[in-house]
Structure 1
Amino acid sequence: MARVRMSDVAAAAGVSTATVSMVLSGAGGDRISAATQAKVREAAEAIGYAPNSVARSLRTQRTRMIGLISDSIATTPFAGRMLAGANDAAREHGHLVVLVDTDGDPAQERQAVEALTGQRVDAMVYARMWHQVVDAPAGLAEGSVFLDCRPAHGSWPAVVPDDREGGVAATRELTAAGHRRIAYLDAPAGGVVASALRHEGYRQVLAEAGIAPDPALHVRGETDAGGGRAAAEELLDLPADRRPTALFCFNDRMAMGAYAAARRRGLRIPEDLSVVGYDDQQLIAAELDPPLTTVALPHYEMGRWAMEVALGERTADPDEPHRMPCPVIRRESVGPPPPARASR
C-alpha cells in the first residue's frame, strides 16, 4: 500500500502543502486560522497520514538549513558570487543553503517565506541581484539578514556595497593620473541607488581636487554597451576644449561601449582617453583591450558576511547597513591625459 504523503493531506484539506507542514509541525501559530488548522488535522487523521520519524525528530532541534530567498541571483552569473560566499560560510559551519529564486514577485516571495518556515530553517537571508532599498517580504522572520539590499522600514541586519566610496576610489584613480576633465557616464535617472551614491563620490573627489563640476560631463545612458557607446559619443562630440580626457563609467558594460565609441574616432586607450569601469564583471573587464581598470563589487564577501550573521557567527547593527568596501582593480586603461591637454 502506498504511503500517504503530505501532499495527499493538502489535497484532502484543500490547502497548500506548506500550510499542512506548518500546522502538523506546530508552526502555524496565529498565521493560520484555528478552523484551517482543525481541517488539516482532521484530513490527516481521516486518510491515515503518519509523519516521517526523521521529520518529527527535527521539530525539537536545529535543521542545520538556512533559507536564501533572492530575486534572480541563481540565474545571473554576474551576481552568483554572492551565492558562492554564502554557500562557503554555511558549509564551513555545517549548514545547507536552501535557495529559492522568485524573480522579485511579491506573491512568490510570500510563498517562499511560508515554505521555508514550514521546513523550519534555522534562519533566512533575503538577497537582491543589485543594491536596492526594498520592503521586507510578508512573514519574513525577525532577525533575517538582507544581502545586497537594505530594508525601507524596520530594523534588520543588512549588507550592501559601499558605492559612495567606490565612486570616490574610481575618480581618484583618474585625478591621481593628472586628469581634470573627468566625465561620469551614469545610469538612467531614478530607481538605481548606486547611481546617486557613485555620483556623490565622483563630486567629492572633484571638490577635493579643486575641479569645478561641469554639467556637460555628467551624462546618462542605458546600463549596457549600447548605452555606454551613445553616452561616450555625446561626450566626445563636445568642442575640443570641453571634451573629457577620462571617463568614469557606471558599470563595465557601459565602459565596453565607451571603448567602441573611442575607437570609432581613432582614439587610443589610455593614450588619448582613460576609462574606469565599475563591477569587475566577469568576461568583460579583464578581456577588453586594453584590460579595464575598474571597481569590484564585493559579491563573495557580502554573501559570506550575510551568512555568518544569519548563523550567529558575526554580530551586526540592525539599524545601520554594513557597507562592504569596493576595491579598485588596476589594469591598463588609465594613463596621464594627452600632453596638449594636461594643464587645461
Structure 2
Amino acid sequence: MTISLSDIAERAGVSVKTVSGALHGGSARMSDETRQRIKEIAEELGYVTNLAARSMRQGWMPLIGVVADELITSPFATEIIRGLDGAARASDMAVFAMTLSGRRDVASVVEEVRRFRPRAIAYAAMYHKTVSLPEEFAGTVGVMINCREANERVTSLVPDEIGAAHEITSYLIDAGRRSIAFINLPGLLAGELRAAGFRQAMSEAGLNGSGERVLPAVRRAIYSDRAPSLVLSHVTELMSGPSRPDAILCGNDRVAMEVYGALRRIGAQIPDDVAVASFDNQLDIASRLDPPLTTMALPHRAMGRMAADILLSSDAVPGEVRKLPFQLVERSSV
C-alpha cells in the first residue's frame, strides 16, 4: 500500500502542509519536536517520497546536475564530487554528472542535464582554466567549479594559485633556501598564476634575479602528461652549472616525481643537497616518494562544498570569483 502525506498527517494530527514542510523542506513553520515526530511517523509507516509528483509540483527534481569538463579523468574529481555530494545530501539532494568531451559541446551537455529537471546546475573542470559558456546558458549554470567564466557572468570557485605559490616559496625561503628553480606547467592558467606568486615571494625576499629561474616542464607550449618531458635535461643542467639551486619547486606532483628520479641519477640527495616542493598533494605520489614530498594540497573538496551551498541558498553573485586557499602539507623533502 502506498503511504501518502495525508496518512502521515492523520496519524500526527497536523495538516498535510505541515507534513510536507517537515519532510520536504517546505515553508510551514513548526517546532523541532513536531518535525522530528513527523519524520518518525513517516519512517514507521514506510513513506517514500514520490519524486515524480514532487517534481511536477515544484518544477524541479531534488538533484544537482554537474557538467563535468573532462573531470572524471582527473584524480581530483573524487574530491570535488565528495564535497558537493556531502553538502547536497544534507539538504536531501542527490548529485549526478554528465561528461563534456571533445565530441560533445557545452550546449548539448547542458541541454542533456536540463532534461532531468535538476534544482541547480554546476560546471566543473579538470583543471583551473577559463571557460566560455554559450550566452543562452549563462543564467542556467549556477556556479563554476575549478574554472572561471570568461565573460564574468557566473560565480566562479577557483584555487588561489598566486597565494599558494607565494606560501610554498616563502616556506622554502624560511627554510634557508636562497637559489630556487621553478619547473612549471607551460600554457596553463594555473602555471601562469603560480609563476606570479613565486616571483612575488622571491622579490619580497630580495632573491629575484639570479636566484630565480622559471623553466617549462615539457617541450610543448601547453603542459600535458603526454608531452615530451624536459625535466631530466633541466635538472642535469641546473645541478652541473655554476649556480646550483638549493631548492626546486615543481608545477605538480608528477613533475616532482620526475625531479626525484633526475636528482637520483646524478647522485644528489633530497633535501640535503636540494629541497623539492610541489603543488597538488596527489597522495599516491606525494606520500610514497622517498623522502615524502612537501606540497600544496588543492582545495577541491572545499570547492565542492561551497558550490552546493551557493546553489541551494541562491548565494551567487554573477561574475564573482572566489579564491579558495591551498593547504601546505609538510613532509620530509624540505
TM over 0.5: yes
Query: Quick one: which of 213, 217, 221 aligns to 1:221?
Result: 217
Deviations 1:301-336 (A, max 9, x none): 1111112111117x34323210000111000000xx
> For the residues of structure 2 that align with 1:54 and 1:70, how far apart are their CA atoms?
24
Name the SS for the 1:174 alignment partner: helix
Residue of structure 2 in register with 1:181 after alignment: 179
Q: 1:12-51 counterparts in 2 under 5 A?
A: none
- Measured in 2, the distance between the counterparts of 1:77 and 1:178 equals 33
Q: Are the aligned partners of 1:68 and 1:126 in contact in 2 as well (CA < 8 Å)? A: yes
TM-score by length of 2: 0.77
Q: How many residues in Structure 1 have an aligned counterpart in Structure 2?
A: 276
Q: 2: CA distance between counterparts of 1:297 and 1:173?
A: 17
- Contact 2:138/2:154, CA 8 A, preserved across alignment: no
Deviation at 1:169, TM superposition (A): 0.9
Paired residues of 2:76 and 2:300 also in contact (CA < 8 A):
no
Q: Over the residues paired in the alignment, what is the CA RMSD in angstroms?
A: 2.1
**Cα shift at 1:117:** 1.8
Amino acid at match of 1:234: E
Instruction: Output the CA distance in 2 between the equivalents of 1:105 and 1:229.
Output: 35
SS in 2 for 1:306: helix
**What residue in structure 2 maps to residue 235 of structure 1?**
238
Equivalence for 1:92: 90
- Does the 8 A contact of 1:279 with 1:296 survive in 2? yes
Q: Normalising by the residue count of structure 1, what TM-score does the alignment of the two structures yield?
A: 0.75
Of 194, 202, 209, which residue of structure 1 is paired with 2:205? Answer: 209
Distance 1:95 1:177 in 2: 46
1:97-148 Cα offsets, whole Å, 9 max, x none, are 12111125552x3222112222211110001010001101464251511000
C-alpha distance in 1, partners of 2:155/2:102?
20
Q: Distance in 1 between matches of 2:82 and 2:162?
A: 25
Structure-to-structure mapping, 1:110-259, within 5 angstroms? 110-137=107-134, 139-140=136-137, 142=139, 144-188=142-186, 190=187, 192-214=188-210, 217-222=213-218, 224=225, 226-239=229-242, 242-259=243-260
Deviation of 1:282 after TM superposition, in Å, equals 2.5
Identity of counterpart residues, as a percentage? 36
1:331 correspondence with 2:321: no
Q: Could you say what secondary structure the match of 1:60 adopts?
A: helix
Kept after mapping to 2: 8 A contact 1:229/1:259: no
Is the contact made by 1:280 and 1:294 (CA closer than 8 Å) also made in structure 2? yes
Letter in 2 for 1:87: D
Match of 1:32 in 2: none
Q: Aligned equivalents of 1:158 and 1:216: distance in 2?
A: 32
- Are the equivalent residues in 2 in contact too, given 1:149–1:158 (CA < 8 A)? yes
Quote how far apart the aligned CAs of 1:205 are: 1.0
* Residues 257/87 of structure 1: CA separation in 2 closer, same or farther (3 Å cut): same
Shift of residue 92 of structure 1? 1.2
* Residues 93 and 295 of structure 1: CA distance in aligned 2, closer, same or farther (over 3 Å): same
Residue-by-residue CA offset, 1:46-65 (whole Å, 9 max, x unaligned)? xxxxxxx9646523214111
> Tell me, what secondary structure is at the counterpart of 2:286?
coil
Shift of 1:85: 0.8
Q: What does 1:53-64 align with in structure 2 at a 5 Å threshold?
A: 55=52, 58-61=55-58, 62-64=60-62
1:78 to 76, 79, 85: 76
TM superposition shift of 1:207: 1.1
Kept after mapping to 2: 8 A contact 1:110/1:138: no
Equivalent-residue separation in structure 2 for 1:180 and 1:267 (angstroms): 18
- Are the equivalent residues in 2 in contact too, given 1:294–1:329 (CA < 8 A)? yes
Change (3 A) 1:104 1:60: farther
What do the CA deviations read for 1:200-245 (whole angstroms, capped 9, x no partner)?
1111111111113238722112255944333322322322xx1111
The answer to whether 1:300 aligns with 2:301 is: yes
User: Conserved in 2, the CA contact under 8 Å of 1:249 and 1:278?
Assistant: yes
2:69–2:124 contact (8 Å) kept in structure 1 = yes
Stretches of structure 2 that go unaligned for 5 or more consecutive residues are 1-49
| Mapped pair 1:319 → 2:322 | no
Contact 1:150 / 1:158 at 8 angstroms: preserved in 2?
Answer: yes
- Cα–Cα, structure 1 residues 159 and 147, in superposed 2: closer, same or farther, change >3 Å? same
- Structure 2 partner of 1:277: 278
Mapped to 2, the partners of 1:317 and 1:56 lie a distance apart of 32
Alpha-carbon distance in structure 2 between the residues aligned to 1:310 and 1:232: 46
